[in-house]
Amino acid sequence: MRLEDVKNTVLISQLGGDGELVKQIQFLLTKYGYLDPPVDGKFGPASNWALTEFAYRKGMSIGLGLTPQLAEALLDTKHETLPALAKSGTWFDKVIDYMVAKEYWICRHPEATNIVYLEGVDPDGKSNNNKPNQFNDLRVVFSVNAGGAPVFTVWEGTTEPGLFWTMNPMSSKGAARIAFNQYKSWSVGTHHPGKASAHEALVQVEPILVYRDLNKDFKRQGDQTEFGLFAINQHWGYNAPKDDLGQTSAGCLVGRTKAGHLEFMSMIKSDPRYLANSTYRFMTTVLPGKEVLS
């Protein structure tokens, strides 16, 4: 079935049995800025939340199910319910412009969060020389307000392995350096479970692409790539000094300070998609700062 065919109410409990219909609903909710891709045909908690929010903003409810009226509203692509992206008047507008140009997905619901890492960027939004073994990258969480403008918080961080793990890689293929892209690959969990250093973090649960720095030159160019699960988590940096990563990162996405990381985790755990599903997979976008800001 397709939305065009909905003449009678379809109970929400029955939606999961129609993969074609669910995929169409998901595609539209993604287009409207509610539901992160990819479309999978499974009507889970995040899809339920997104459809509920869409219906609410149309003055409807999914309490009765997918009604013909709600189906018609979903098909109405000319009257979106979330604001179009707008300028904030800050340097971060360049980040949004870059993401849009690359067709990276942005959740436009004002209560939802978007996670971005900017390599080689200072907290004031200016690019730096991205010197190896330093916390000179940015971890960012942003939302889109009722006017469509981004509201963002930044922390010092790193997207790269430090000197120690580059010279002493965990893999014979070389230290892992994440490829610039957007990935839906992390869930709330524990970094270093069972160890004294254990703490709550975003842990990798789906494959990502990395470059293997076999020649130990701290660069991606010319390196072999590998796609898989590498325990590349988003954790804290143990309050290490800004100019020395020490052993804090073997390729993970790291926020330098404990306090900043706790703030980061608090923000993303307030996301309604996580509240609807504690195993929700967070999307994260890793970007080349110099290219973004040029």
- Condensed to tens digits (0 to 9), the pLDDT of residues 87-122 reads 999 999 999 999 999 999 999 999 999 999 999 999
Tokens standing for residue 50: 């997104």
140 and 100 in one domain? yes
CA atoms within 13 A on the CB side of 198: 7
Q: Into how many domains does the chain fold?
A: 2
Q: Residue ranges of the alpha helices (H) in the chain?
A: 12-15, 19-31, 45-57, 68-75, 93-101, 163-167, 258-269, 272-276, 289-293
pLDDT band at 201 (very low <50, low <70, confident <90, very high): very high
137 and 66 in one domain? no
Per-residue pLDDT, 242 = 98
Q: What is the CATH number of the domain that holds 16?
A: 1.10.101
Whether residue 240 lies inside any domain: the answer is yes
168 and 61 in one domain? no
Whether residue 84 lies inside any domain: the answer is no
Whether residue 86 lies inside any domain: the answer is no
Last residue of a domain, one of 47, 75, 103: 75
Whether residue 113 lies inside any domain: the answer is yes
The whole domain housing 36 covers: 3-75
Residue with token string 């300028």: 87
Q: Any bridge partners for residue 213, and if so which?
A: 175
| Threshold 0.85, pTM exceeds | yes
Containing 252, the helix (H) or strand (E) segment is: none
154 and 22 in one domain? no
Mean pLDDT of 126-151: 98
Per-residue pLDDT, 132 = 98
pLDDT tens figures, 218-242: 999 999 999 999 999 999 999 999 9
Whether residue 286 lies inside any domain: the answer is yes
129 and 268 in one domain? yes
67 and 124 in one domain? no
254 and 155 in one domain? yes
Whether residue 69 lies inside any domain: the answer is yes
At residue 73, φ and ψ (nearest 5 deg) are -65, -40
Last residue of a domain, one of 45, 75, 105: 75
153 and 33 in one domain? no
194 and 229 in one domain? yes
Tokens standing for residue 97: 């412009």
Mean pLDDT of 61-86: 96
Q: Could you give the strand order of the β-sheet that contains 175-178, starting from the edge strand earlier in sequence? A: 175-178, 208-213, 224-228
Q: For the chain, how many helices (H) and strands (E)?
A: 9, 11
Per-residue pLDDT, 36 = 97
272 and 214 in one domain? yes
Whether residue 193 lies inside any domain: the answer is yes
Whether residue 81 lies inside any domain: the answer is no
What one-character-per-residue DSSP string does 175-219 give? Answer: EEEEPSEEEEEEEEEEESTTSTT-EEEEEE-S-EEEEEETT-SS-
Residue with token string 């701290």: 218
Last residue of a domain, one of 44, 75, 106: 75
Mean pLDDT of 128-135: 98
201 and 228 in one domain? yes
288 and 171 in one domain? yes
Residue 114 CB neighbours (<10 A): 27
pLDDT tens figures, 17-73: 999 999 999 999 999 999 999 999 999 999 999 999 999 999 999 998 999 999 999
